[in-house]
Amino acid sequence: MNETKRIKSALISVYHKDNLDSIIEKLHQLNVEIYSTGGTKSFIEGLGVPVTAVESLTDYPSIFGGRVKTLHPKIFGGILYRREEAKDREEAAQYAIPDIDMVIVDLYPFEETVALGAPEAEVIEKIDIGGIALIRAAAKNYKDVLIVPSQREYAPLQTLLDKKNGETDLADRRKFAGAAFNVSSHYDTAIFDYFNRELNEPVFRQNITGGMALRYGENPHQKGIYFGNFNAIFDKLNGKEISYNNLLDIDAAVNLIADFNDPTFAILKHNNACGLASDADPTEAWKKALAGDPVSAFGGVLIANYAIDAATAADIDGIFYEILIAPSFSPEALTLLQGKKNRILLKQKNNLSVGQQFRSLLNGVALQDKDLAVESINDLKPVTVRKASDDELVDLLFANKIVKHSKSNTIVLAKGKQLLAGGVGQTSRVDALKQAIKKAHTFGFDLNGSVMASDAFFPFPDCVEIAGKAGIKAIIQPGGSMKDKESIDAADQLSVAMVFTGIRHFKH
């Protein structure tokens, strides 16, 4: 079998025609016979290039409003017949089936139509039938046929045509066939996902094209790739290549800040907040966040939900950090912050929209709904004799947002909408509390009048007792322990206010 083949004929049926003109003109220069239909045929004719209508091969017009155009044995026979098989060649001659050496397809924009919120009738019409069948047929017969399955492959095709003047070898055709099955599997997954929004079948499918190679994974000896559209969420304004660990911190930061409406600044390290504050004065929010743990802030990820002005930028510029994320930067702030070439600056354009999350484990995948619960005043159930004051309630809800985004077991201490300290990732809730108290004292915070948030209930009253003796005056926790009464009694003895939310916020 001769692996090198010359393209003598091509079937072209595409939705996106941008950058197709130079390909058409090259094929014309190479004396390739072109078959087409509908809008693509009109486009080719507009370039002054001869084109044969598919209908002239099939003796059938485009029917059912364009639903059936290329679905015909003369088309699929010309793609699928095996050139090295004598019987296939005889049948092709018997039924006047022409050779089709190359197929160029670009499918209807199904995903884009769904994303626009189009009515179902319009969405259904964007399910491509003929196009996907052409892709699969040509890819299956890659030994004889070159398949160009999407607009993304126009440029590689142009390069191939320019380099080899219309010839392809088996490696070329197999490479394009692989891209074709990537396109078809992604397309089918998108359609299934659309229908499964109502069916809710317990099926896990993910097909994200365009992976971005990372320098390495979590550690240098691990390979890392990011699959997703980072540029749809951020504009990268400065800095070095983003790493795997950067992505984890960015994700944690964006999820955390999304729960705050007041002007808020947060500093994260290893996915946990080490400093966070809300304040009407942007610079004060930054200063209070830094005060929470100026040591851990070194090399951290910084995020604000407000524009970074020149004054705030000047303060921030004084420390070393990896990443700064904000919805916008003033021109003066941006000029200053871009002074260090490795510093990553991200302008956040959109919030995260995914409602589910998954992780690989035990040779499989665990899927769950994302924790989107954000408690309000109406969700709080006072359970102690002393009731939390208005200011304490504000701080309790503030602390509870932070505890939700901290690794379990976790305790958060706060006052005046400022994170005083957190004890995170501990195997014991008592250890988490002791860690938080020690840390707060290390950085000179007075815990008298502060509040405490816990991601889960207290199985024993010990945490309440330790907190009360440290000066903490109000506690927020889910409740639900068999020994809740013991914790309530301990709080009453110490004149500590306590509220239950009924919602646990484990994070592992």
Residues with catalytic annotation?
140, 270
In the numeric block, the tokens 């595409």 are attached to 14
SS3 for 252-279 is HHHHHHCCCCCCEEEEEECCEEEEEEEC
d(CA 104, CA 244): 36
Helical packing angle, 484-493 and 462-469, nearest 10°: 20
Residues 6+ apart with CB under 8 A from 358: 204, 206, 365, 366, 367, 368
For 174-245, where are the E strands, in sequence order?
Answer: 212-213, 225-226, 234-238
Say if residues 455 and 406 touch (Cβ distance below 8 Å): yes
Provide long-range contacts, Cβ within 8 A and 24+ apart, for 27-31.
27/161, 27/166, 30/161, 30/165, 30/166
Ordered alpha helix ranges (H), 67-169: 73-80, 86-94, 110-115, 120-125, 130-140, 154-164
d(CA 86, CA 89): 5
d(CA 468, CA 446): 13
CA separation, residue 305 to residues 73, 308, 443 (Å):
59, 9, 25
Q: Is 298 exposed, middle or buried (0-12, 13-18, 19+ CB in 10 A)?
A: middle
Peptide bond connecting 261 to the previous residue in cis, omega within 30 degrees of 0: no
Question: Which helix (DSSP H) or strand (DSSP E) does residue 14 occupy?
Answer: strand 9-14
d(CA 367, CA 447): 39
CA separation, residue 212 to residues 151, 224, 248, 253 (Å):
19, 9, 15, 21
Q: Are strands 474-477 and 497-500 parallel, antiparallel or unpaired?
A: parallel
